Amino acid sequence: MASFLKGWFVVRRDLSRGRRTLLAALSFVLPLALWCAVSYVPWIWHPDVKLEVASTTERISAVFTAGNRLSQEFFPTYVDAIHQDNAEALKVAQTGEVVPGAQRANRVLLRQLAQVGVRNGWLAAGSEQDDAAIYQLWRDLATGVKTSTDPVLSEENIGVIKANWAALSALSADFDSKKLPQVPLQKLVPQGIPSNPVYLPPPHEVWKAAATDFTARPEGDAPPMLDRYGHSLRIILFGFFWSCVIGVPLGILCGVFDVFSKLFEPFVDFFRYMPAPTFSTLLVAVLSAHDAPKVALVFIGTVFQMVLVVSKTTRLLDPALLEAAQTLGAKPRQLVMKVVLPGILPNLYNDMRILLGWAWTWLVIAELIGVKSGLTGFLDTQGTFRNFDRVFPIIILIGVTGFVSDQILAFFHGVFFPWSGRSGPVSRAVASAVTWPVRTIVAGARLRTASKTLPSA
Residue 452 maps to a domain: no
pLDDT given at position 435: 53
pLDDT given at position 53: 94
pTM tops 0.85, yes or no? no
433 and 300 together in one domain: yes
Residue closest to 232 by CA, chosen among 351, 385, 365 = 365
Residue 343 maps to a domain: yes
Per-residue tens of pLDDT for the chain, all 457 residues: 566 666 777 777 788 888 888 998 999 999 999 999 999 888 888 899 999 999 999 999 888 998 889 999 999 999 999 999 999 999 998 888 888 999 999 999 999 999 999 999 999 887 778 899 999 999 999 999 999 999 999 999 999 999 999 999 999 999 998 999 999 999 999 999 988 888 899 999 999 999 999 988 877 778 899 999 999 999 999 999 999 999 999 999 999 999 999 999 999 999 888 888 888 888 888 888 788 999 999 999 999 999 999 999 999 998 888 888 888 888 888 888 889 999 999 999 999 999 998 898 898 889 888 788 889 989 998 888 888 999 999 999 999 999 999 999 988 888 888 777 655 555 555 555 555 555 565 556 566 666 665 555 4
Residue 75 maps to a domain: yes
For 5: left if phi > 0, alpha if psi spans -120 to 50, otherwise beta; the answer is alpha
Contact 200, 388 (CB under 8 A): yes
Number of domains the chain is built from:
2
387 and 320 together in one domain: yes
Degrees to nearest 5, angle at CA 443 with 419 and 433: 50
184 and 281 together in one domain: no
170 and 297 together in one domain: no
242 and 367 together in one domain: yes
pLDDT given at position 457: 45
Query: Is the bond preceding 151 in cis, omega lying within 30 degrees of 0?
Result: yes
252-304 pLDDT, tens digit per residue, is: 999 999 999 999 999 999 988 888 888 888 888 888 878 899 999 999 999 99
The dihedrals phi and psi of 400, each to the nearest 5 degrees, come to -65, -40
Residue 411 maps to a domain: yes
Residue range(s) defining the domain that contains residue 315: 225-417+425-446
310 and 377 together in one domain: yes
What is the edge-to-edge ordering of all strands in the sheet holding 69-71?
69-71, 48-53, 191-195
pLDDT given at position 392: 95
276 and 362 together in one domain: yes
Residue closest to 176 by CA, chosen among 232, 116, 219, 136 = 136
Residue 22 maps to a domain: no
299 and 397 together in one domain: yes
390 and 259 together in one domain: yes
Please report, for the domain that includes residue 305, its CATH number: 1.10.3720.10
312 and 431 together in one domain: yes
